[in-house]
Amino acid sequence: MAQNWFSAPAPIARRARAYFAPVNRVTRMPVVFDASLQGAFDLDSPPASWIDLGPIQGLTRTAGSKSISIMAGVPAAVLEQARETLDAQVRFEFLSWTKLTMALATGSQHMNLLAPAAGAIPACDGVQAAPAVAVQAGSTANILQLAAADVTRFTVGSMVAVDADYTGQTGFVGSPVSGAYLRQPLSDVDYIRRITFNVALVSQVAGSALTLAQPLPAGVPAPGYKLQALTGFVDREGGAFYHEWSALFVITGTQGERIFFHYPRLQSIAGAEEAAQPVGGKQGGGLAQSLLRGRFLALPVIDPLDGERVLCYRSFLPAPRALI
């Protein structure tokens, strides 16, 4: 009978892919990834809550957990080991600049640069913004209905932030991604739209509707949501806020095997850093790609299976017909 299995060598792969999902900071709930249920997902269409950040390079995982030896006897010999500290870090470079990759690659608060109002006084990140317009009923995650008088303020190529007015709340602000933590109320009615991740690019303007090139991360706009144009993004070195995300890294081998690194809670530990990568090797003629560099610290969760505190899960789905 023909052999219907093979011995698989170590996986050979190109770049890893990264997926992130926001941790609910209020309830402290990370996003679960179950390799047995979800491991075969289409890499271009990740499971619900996970956002595809595309290929990354230089994925390096560092386990810094320390063990101590419990000695006994004369002369002393190791009787047992005990885990003294839990520590794991991960670092890599993003291959694109987007709202999310930029936010992930900074250890601080990340904001939208709202389009300024006429005659606004320059400010580093909080310029007085052009007034927001109300999102009308019938809007979806991809199509925003506006009043006829408002739609003229947006064109194809406009970037927009969609969220509620700030009304003086404190604590974690922003949903589903907490973009800031406020200790005291502010007076800026646009503050939530400054820190929201609910942003998109306008791909079409027809009638009184804006069609978005990508769906809004928060889905269908809630009643009362407003829309503001933005010109870009800004982060700052300093501040007290740390973003927290669930992260999933996937390495797909040439034989169809998959390795998953799931970090339920990950916080950036480095300030904004970039890496210059020459384009086209030595023939690049001085051209260099500026890559966002991310360095993260894993925080523990309690594994409901047995109550152990863990930082990361590594799962492996072998290649079909490979010996295990």
Partner 1 sequence: MALRSRLASVNPERTILIRGALRPGILVEEAEAPASQVPPDVFVLRWLGLGSDSGLASTLVAQECEILYQTCGTQCFGGLDRGRALTAMDAELMAMLEPCSTPKTNCASQPPATMLTQVFWNEPALAPVVTQRDRVGRSARVTIYSYLEQGE
Which residues contribute to the site for partner 1 (CB under 8 A)?
Answer: 2-10, 12, 14, 254-256, 319-321
3-state secondary structure of 96: coil
Cα–chain-centroid distance for residue 290? 19
In the bound complex, what is the minimum distance in angstroms from residue 254's beta carbon to partner 1? 4
Closest CB to partner 1 among 123 and 323?
323
Complex with partner 1: residue 86 or 322, whichever CB lies closer: 322
* Token digits of residue 224: 């009362």
CB of 48 to partner 1, least distance (A): 25
Which residue, 12 or 156, has its beta carbon nearer to partner 1? Answer: 12
Element housing 192 (H / E): helix 191-195
Task: State the minimum distance, in angstroms, from the CB of residue 281 to partner 1.
Answer: 12
Rank residues 203 and 255 by Cβ distance to partner 1 and give the closer one.
255
To the nearest 5 percent, what fractions of the chain are helix, strand and coil? 5, 45, 50
Q: How far is the CB of 54 from partner 1 (least distance, A)?
A: 15
Q: Which is nearer to partner 1, 3 or 27 (CB)?
A: 3
| Beta carbon nearer to partner 1, 107 or 253 | 253
Chain-centre distance for alpha carbon 162: 18
The nearest distance, CB 46 to partner 1, in angstroms, is: 18
Shortest reach from residue 253's CB to partner 1, in Å: 9
| Rounded CA separation 315/16 (Å) | 14
DSSP string, 11-60: ---S-EEEEEEE-BTTTTBPPP--HHHHTT--TTSPPTT-EEEEEEEEEE
Q: What is the DSSP letter of 283?
A: G
**Shortest distance in whole angstroms from residue 5 CB to partner 1:** 7
* CB 78, CB 71: distance < 8 Å: yes
- Report the residue number, 47 or 256, with the smaller CB distance to partner 1: 256
Angle value at C-alpha 275, between 91 and 245, nearest 5 degrees: 35
Smallest separation, CB 11 to partner 1 (Å):
11
Tokens of 13: 């792969």
In the complex with partner 1, which residue's Cβ is closer, 7 or 187? 7
Going by C-beta distance under 8 Å and a sequence separation of 6 or more, which residues neighbour residue 323?
5, 6, 7, 8
Smallest CA-to-CA distance from 142 within 204, 33, 215 is with: 215
> 168: which residues sit within 8 A by CB, 6+ positions away?
185, 186
286 CB-near residues (< 8 Å, 6+ apart): none
